[in-house]
Amino acid sequence: MTSLVSAQGVSKQFGSFTAVDNVNFEIESGRILGLIGPNGAGKTTLLKALLGLTDCEGQLSVMGLDPFKQRKKLMQNICFIADVAVLPRWIKVSQLLDYVEAIHPNFSRARAEELLQQTKIMARSKVKELSKGMVTQLHLSIIMSIDAKLLILDEPTLGLDIIFRKEFYANLLNDYFDEERTILVTTHQVEEIENLLTDVMFIDEGRILLDSPMEALAETYVEVLASGENADKARGLGPISENSLFGKSVMIFEGVAREHLEKYGELRTPHVADIFVAKVKGARQ
Amino acid sequence: MITHLLALLKREIWEHRAIYVTPIAIAGIVVLGTLTALMFAGDFAKELDVAMFGAQNIAGETERRAVLSGLFFGSSGLFFLALGILTVFYSLDSLYAERKDKSILFWRSLPVTDAETVVSKLLTALVVLPAATIVAVMATHIMNLILTSIWVSMKGGDAGLLIWGSVSLFSDWLSLLIIVYATAIWMSPFIGWFLFVSAYSKRSPFMLAFLPLVALPMLEGIFMRSSEFAQVVWGRLGSIPIYSGIDLESLFDEDRFELSDQSLSVLSYLDIGHFLSSPAMWAGVVICGLLSFGAIYVRRFRDDS
């Protein structure tokens, strides 16, 4: 496997505010990485740096290119959906296809038209006449018709209803993703995408709190449901978080072997969202 | 590169439909005006018969040419006024609207450099907008000639001689082309300034563009008691160095003014050499270039998040 993205000591300052603070990570090709972080954690800034939309300190390489200096070349192999609102409202669907076809060397118009056939979007419609969900469908249809190595999605389903959200990820996985491609996605709704991720990265206050493959997550993190005396004993092993549920304590452990914990109660693999909350709270204390 | 540029220019025309709608609308108004004038002219039947007889039999070809060229350039005024206004609003909007509606993130997600984008907007203002106006003026010209020919023929006049034999189509069109593009190049520092403001402005680019142009001459007048800035900036509007040898007094002085083909051709008053060797013209082009670089820089480096 080769590293598609490599970041070493990447930082970005806005005045005295540090949006991204000395971040190091690698993304290998063929992975689906979820970048999870609260608002203002530095997710969008980091994505912008990867896309060459903003400059930054440190070493950042995407497909062997410097994103900021070689943005045009980079954009031939990266696709990007920022938010549902970014398609220009005045443009007609057919014009949009004409434009992307002329600009993008890896765009297949036939494929885009085929994908649009499956929706209610008309070629003569203007973007402003489409519903929010349809605009996302349109954007996704264009993106999926571009043969790109890296797809970056920043809150792609924000403001969409549950049916569109499910459909969005289903289309992405079934019609787009393969070993040649890599997807980097940020979202608030972790639970909706956690079963399609291969890797997960937590970010808060500009720092990476966790960077792990999903399989390893299940090995490293264990959730114990314990009560009474068992709960006290388990607590002695140093859980990273504890909540109570129906009179039982729910504790999450990091790096504690399962055989040490199973005698105290029922073991489960915690949800990504729960690990995330535990890590963020832990880091902020 | 060329396909990119063409796609970008097309994109500008899709977004700013006023680029072609405005000249077409004005052409419609001018042609309609001609039609109305010709219809009402019937009330002066006797005078017209005399005039037509005179034009056909007494006036020379040169006079007839003069009248038709005069009508042609006279009816173009409205187009030029609209072109000026359109250029100001287009340039100020071109790099501002995409930030306002956030579509800039989509445009920048495609493999197009900021330089290509800004150059496409500069070329739209300098080349495409004037071209749309020139085409509309030519079409209006032809339509008016056809309408007038029909009218002259209906009155029993010889349209072949009076209209088509007397019109200097290509000389007039060439003059039009030269005047419009020379003006565009002469005004290019303003276009560069508007593009820069359009890329830079956080809100109301119109205010930001015109406030310094109005306030600086006032401040200069108050504090330095001079008007250099106003002369350089506002004075530029009326001093394009393409015309030469027009002695307005002689045009209205019948004793000195001699009607000849040479004196009636607009082309003969245009001095391209003088224009191309004008330091003020080149200074303007350099300023336009620098401001366009500024616009590229701002679009590339500014982070709006």
Contact call for residues A34 and A208 (beta carbons, < 8 A):
no
Q: Which of A44, A89, A103 sits opposite B111 (nearest CB)?
A: A103
Token duo for residue A136: 């996302």
Contact call for residues A79 and B109 (beta carbons, < 8 A):
yes
The strand order across the sheet containing A17-28 reads A17-28, A3-14, A57-62
- Split at pLDDT 50, 70, 90, the class of B305 is very low
This model's pTM is above 0.90: no
Contact call for residues A18 and A138 (beta carbons, < 8 A):
no
Contact call for residues A274 and A223 (beta carbons, < 8 A):
yes
Q: Which residue of A has its CA nearest to B14?
A: A91
- Split at pLDDT 50, 70, 90, the class of B260 is low
Contact call for residues A192 and A169 (beta carbons, < 8 A):
yes
Please write the tens of the pLDDT for every residue from A222-257: 888 887 788 888 887 888 888 888 888 888 988 888
DSSP H or E run through A44:
helix A43-50
A283–chain B Cβ distance below 8 A for any pair: no
Sequential DSSP letters for B33-91:
HHHHHHHHGGGGHHHHHHHHHHHHHTS-HHHHHHHHHHHHHHTTHHHHHHHHHHHHHHH
- Is the CB of B101 less than 8 angstroms away from the CB of A80? no
**Residue type at B80 in one-letter notation:** F
Please write the tens of the pLDDT for every residue from B170-198: 888 898 999 999 999 999 999 999 999 99
Measure A89 CA to nearest chain B CA, in Å.
8
CA B42 distance to own-chain centroid: 34
Token duo for residue A23: 């971040």
A-chain CB neighbours of B108 within 8 Å are 51, 53, 71, 75
Measure A247 CA to nearest chain B CA, in Å.
45
- Split at pLDDT 50, 70, 90, the class of B239 is confident
Q: Which residue of A has its CA nearest to B10?
A: A99
Please write the tens of the pLDDT for every residue from B70-121: 777 777 889 999 999 999 999 999 999 998 888 888 998 888 999 999 999 9
- Distance between CA atoms of A247 and A227, rounded to whole angstroms? 7
Q: Quick count: other Cβ atoms within 10 Å of Cβ B17?
A: 10
- Is the CB of B106 less than 8 angstroms away from the CB of A72? no
Averaged in consecutive runs of 10 residues, what is the pLDDT profile of chain A (285 residues)? 84 86 90 88 87 88 90 86 77 96 93 90 93 87 88 83 82 79 85 86 89 88 84 82 83 85 85 87 80
- pLDDT score recorded for residue B251: 53
